Amino acid sequence: MSAFAEGSLAIAVAANNRDEAIIASGQLLVASGRVTPVYVEQMLAAVEEFGPYIVIAPGIALAHARPSEAVLSSGLSLAVLAQPVEFGSHNDPVRLVFGLAAIDHDQHLGVLSALAERLSEPQFVNNLLNASTIEALAALLYLEPAE
Amino acid sequence: MRIVAVCGLGIGTSIILKMNAEKALGELGVDATVEAVSVAEIRRSGQDANIILTTPDLAEILVGFTAQIISIEHVFDKQVIKEKLEQALA
């Protein structure tokens, strides 16, 4: 059982700016059944409120909103952007936009920790950027929850 | 010793900071846990925190705390997290 459900991944995604990039990762959460469309608006509101800190490492954004009725189940999505996008962060430009849906404060911790562990390897990040098919991306992102 | 990792909503970035900070503390031989909280929670209950770990843009808005604020640009960079924690604990 993957944290990345069917429909949660996309490559060569066209996005011209921060909001389009966040919407892309949010739409993948909608498409994979994790959230209702209102969650995507909440993701945009969160980045407006707190700023570009969601670009947590060079080239990598983690977009999400708070747990709410718009979340159906906890999970992740990933939009690999065709062209890098500026978020206004010291870790710009962004190529990987992860979407996170959390149904509560705890259920997603295992997969988030497992993902963070993998993303600390530069080679893993390169492999994500260079995946040429959704299947290749899915194979890279099969995560066993940590602990 | 109260160490807190802070991000906007307390469920994403702060969780990753907490995870890497706890590993660093383990390597430094410090027996401490790290709480992951939101900006709203730290404002409500963070006055007794000793160390706050967060990102540079959130560090700017976290004013009025007595805690040492450690700002981390790259949350996967365990070496930098370890060095900054070691300095803060010295």
A121 → chain B, closest CA residue: B76
The 3-state DSSP class for residue B36 equals: strand
Give dist(CA B82, CA A53) in Å, integer.
20
Domain at A65, CATH number: 3.40.930.10
Q: Which residues of A are designated catalytic? A: 64
Residue A1 in domain: no
Structural tokens at position A98: 């992860």
The 3-state DSSP class for residue A25 equals: helix
Structural domains counted in chain A? 1
For A36-60, how does the pLDDT look when each residue is reduced to its tens digit (9 = 90+)?
A: 999 999 999 999 999 899 999 999 9
A57 → chain B, closest CA residue: B74
Parent domain of A134? 9-140
Interface confidence, given as ipTM, is 0.88
For chain B, list the domains and their CATH numbers.
Answer: 3-89 (3.40.50.2300)
**Residues from chain B contacting residue A64 (CB–CB below 8 Å):** 9, 11-12
Residue A2 in domain: no
Residue A44 in domain: yes
Q: The pTM is what?
A: 0.93
For B26-57, how does the pLDDT look when each residue is reduced to its tens digit (9 = 90+)?
A: 999 999 999 999 999 999 999 999 999 999 99
Q: Stretch A76-95: mean pLDDT, rounded?
A: 97
Q: Stretch B10-35: mean pLDDT, rounded?
A: 95
Cβ atoms of A107 and A78 closer than 8 Å: no
**Residues from chain A contacting residue B55 (CB–CB below 8 Å):** 53, 56
